[in-house]
């Protein structure tokens, strides 16, 4: 089985010469916290991750660690509840509409087909074993929370099921940002080495089926559905649709105008770099010439959609999913077999604040000629792992951009590191930088932007990884134009 990796390279273009501060500062910013083994959500024990968004307001994610009073429970590693503030006085609580009915943001969601072995099988959140759940990095303002386990196939004995494969998911949180990241690797190397028979799984992870708008009603009509492959699928008043406009960044998006809520997944890479969306579920790659590129939503064949989303619920449900072609789980479509990796930024927020739209635009900017990252004192990091739990390396494109963590990375240069982050079009909100080979044993005593000394907690947020000698730094700025940043390395 041979598949190709597609990589593009962004070019350089720099104009303008200014930077805009955000209209607010994160005064008294709190560190990211994890409360472990907390009871109280349905019948589950949970870990609660709390971070501060771009307005300085707290957001929470509740991860399941199993059912209470059931040590054999495999209900682990997925999100059962989230909270955030639509404004300072209104908390939005997103949780299951009914207790213990399977509503969640699932770590995996697959339709399992093994060529030459057994029959079709759809995996569930509970179809796993040997779970390991723990942060692999917990800094003051940056957190990588890892969930890994073995996903089994046909319900055979877990330990001897040769069709089982390893799943690693990093949930990533940064203080100062409204979204969080979901980065997944499917590791099919064990089965791949045993028999060479390819998997034919599609991938729909993360598979969300809870009340993301926080109004307590999961099954009700929504206002809009939109997604992107190499074209954009759009709905109009939930009556008609079209699939015409060219697209660069894969994404899925749903919203409710009356509640002023939205949810979206935005991939960190382009469609050319890492495939997003199925192949039209059997239409030879793109619905074919015989199928129209617009029509009535009521007569749309849902199985032709590139992402399942909530189509099978007649668009009257809060379900939303990712999607990849059948056969993608064990590699290809941008990832070297026998692994499959991708990273998504997940947004749940007020629809009127354009969070999903702005993040799509920002990711397009990352992969355009209108953003340039360069280093004058130090060195750009040019490659890194393809995904969490995947040993294969991939060349970063654009240079310095880590698609796994959605960060910009460089190696320290002597006593100080100097780099440019130039945005020729639009803006980039609160970029995150990672400085490798950092010499200090504390956060920097000084960071400057265009010659102006920045203030810790107001202008930037740092986390020190002393073990790996890395410094994570979020710049609390809405960045435009030409910018020179200097970090003291001690």
Distances from the Cα of 428 to the Cα of 16, 307, 355, 363, 485, angstroms: 14, 28, 13, 9, 15
User: How many Å separate Cα 134 from the centre of its chain?
Assistant: 18
Q: Which residue would you say has higher pLDDT here, 345 or 334? A: 345
Percent of the chain surpassing pLDDT 90: 57
Taking each continuous run of H as one helix and of E as one strand, the counts in the chain are 2, 35
Q: 166 phi and psi, to 5 degrees?
A: -85, 135
Distances from the Cα of 303 to the Cα of 278, 280, 282, 345, 396, angstroms: 10, 7, 8, 25, 35
| Residue 318, token pair as written in the block | 């809060």
What per-residue string of b and e applies to 381-406 under the rule 16 or more CB within 10 Å gives b?
Answer: beebebbbbbeeebebbbbbbbbbbb
Lowest mean pLDDT among 89-103, 326-340, 443-457: 89-103
**For 363-409, what is each residue's pLDDT tens digit?**
999 999 999 999 999 999 999 999 999 999 999 999 999 999 999 99
Q: Which residue would you say has higher pLDDT here, 9 or 67? A: 67
For residues 254 and 320, the answer to whether their CB atoms sit within 8 Å is yes
- Calculate the average pLDDT of the chain: 84
DSSP 107: S
pLDDT of residue 89: 84
pLDDT of residue 8: 28
**For 182-227, what is each residue's pLDDT tens digit?**
999 999 887 666 666 666 777 788 888 888 998 888 788 999 999 9
Residues 313-322 have a mean pLDDT of 90
Q: 248 phi and psi, to 5 degrees?
A: -110, -45
**Among candidates 416, 424, 404, 403, which has minimal Cα distance to 375?**
416
Residues 284-296 have a mean pLDDT of 64
For residues 238 and 223, the answer to whether their CB atoms sit within 8 Å is yes
pLDDT of residue 20: 44
**For 323-341, what is each residue's pLDDT tens digit?**
888 778 888 889 998 899 9
pLDDT of residue 197: 63
Percent of the chain surpassing pLDDT 70: 81
Domain ranges of the chain: 33-362, 369-488
DSSP 351: G
Between the ranges 41-45, 299-303, 324-328, 446-450, where is the mean pLDDT highest?
Answer: 446-450
pLDDT of residue 369: 96
Task: Judge if 33-362 and 369-488 fold alike in CATH terms.
Answer: no
Task: Tell me the Ramachandran region of residue 189: left when phi exceeds 0, alpha when psi lies from -120 to 50, beta otherwise.
Answer: alpha
pLDDT of residue 128: 79
For residues 233 and 304, the answer to whether their CB atoms sit within 8 Å is no
42 CB-near residues (< 8 Å, 6+ apart): 80, 96, 99, 100
pLDDT of residue 104: 64
**Euclidean distance between the first and final Cα of the chain, in Å?**
49
Which of the four CATH numbers 2.60.40, 1.10.150, 2.20.25, 2.60.120 does domain 369-488 have?
2.60.40
Fold of 33-362: Beta-galactosidase; Chain A, domain 5 (2.70.98)
DSSP 60: E
pLDDT of residue 372: 97
**For 107-156, what is each residue's pLDDT tens digit?**
655 444 444 344 444 555 556 788 999 999 999 999 999 999 888 755 55
237 CB-near residues (< 8 Å, 6+ apart): none
């Amino acid at each position: 089985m041979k598949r190709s990796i597609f990589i593009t390279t962004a070019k350089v273009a720099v104009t303008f010469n200014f930077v805009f501060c955000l209209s607010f500062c994160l005064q008294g910013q709190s560190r990211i916290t994890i409360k472990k083994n907390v009871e109280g959500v349905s019948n589950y024990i949970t870990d609660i991750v709390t971070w501060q968004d771009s307005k300085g307001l707290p957001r929470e994610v509740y991860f399941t660690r199993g059912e209470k009073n059931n040590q054999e429970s495999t209900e682990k590693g997925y999100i059962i509840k989230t909270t955030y503030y639509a404004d300072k006085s209104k908390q939005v609580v997103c949780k299951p509409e009914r207790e213990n009915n399977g509503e969640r943001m699932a770590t995996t969601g697959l339709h399992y087909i093994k060529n030459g072995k057994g029959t079709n099988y759809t995996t569930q959140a509970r179809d796993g074993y040997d779970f390991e759940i723990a942060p692999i990095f917990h800094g003051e303002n940056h957190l990588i929370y890892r969930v890994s386990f073995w996903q089994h196939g046909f319900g055979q004995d877990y330990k001897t099921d040769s069709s089982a494969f390893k799943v690693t998911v990093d949930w990533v949180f940064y203080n100062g940002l409204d979204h969080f990241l979901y980065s997944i690797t499917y590791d099919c190397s064990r089965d791949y080495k045993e028999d060479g028979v390819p998997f034919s799984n599609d991938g729909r992870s993360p598979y969300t089926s809870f009340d993301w708008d926080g109004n307590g009603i999961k099954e009700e009509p929504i206002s809009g559905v939109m997604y992107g492959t190499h074209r954009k699928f759009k709905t109009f008043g939930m009556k008609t649709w079209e699939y015409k406009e060219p697209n660069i960044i894969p994404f899925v998006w749903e919203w409710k105008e009356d509640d002023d809520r939205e949810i979206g997944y935005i991939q960190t890479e382009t469609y050319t770099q890492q495939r997003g969306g199925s192949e039209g579920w059997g239409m030879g790659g793109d619905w074919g010439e015989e199928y129209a590129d617009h029509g009535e939503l009521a007569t749309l064949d849902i199985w032709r959609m590139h992402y399942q989303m909530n189509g099978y619920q007649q668009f009257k449900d809060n379900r939303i999913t990712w999607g990849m072609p059948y056969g993608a789980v064990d590699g290809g479509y941008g990832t070297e077999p026998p692994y499959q990796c991708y990273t998504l930024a997940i947004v749940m927020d007020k629809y009127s604040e354009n969070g999903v739209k702005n993040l799509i635009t920002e990711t397009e900017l990352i992969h355009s000629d209108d953003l340039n990252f360069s280093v004058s004192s130090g060195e750009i990091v040019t490659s890194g792992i393809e995904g969490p739990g995947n040993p294969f390396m991939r060349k970063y494109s654009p240079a310095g951009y880590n698609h796994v963590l959605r960060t910009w990375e460089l190696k320290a240069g002597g006593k100080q590191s100097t780099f440019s982050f130039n945005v020729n079009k639009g803006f980039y909100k609160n970029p995150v930088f990672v400085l490798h080979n950092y010499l200090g044993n504390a956060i920097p005593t000084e960071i400057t932007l265009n010659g102006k000394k920045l203030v810790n907690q107001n202008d930037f947020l740092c986390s020190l990884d002393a073990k790996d000698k890395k410094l994570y730094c979020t710049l609390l700025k809405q960045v435009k134009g030409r910018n020179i940043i200097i970090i003291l390395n001690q």
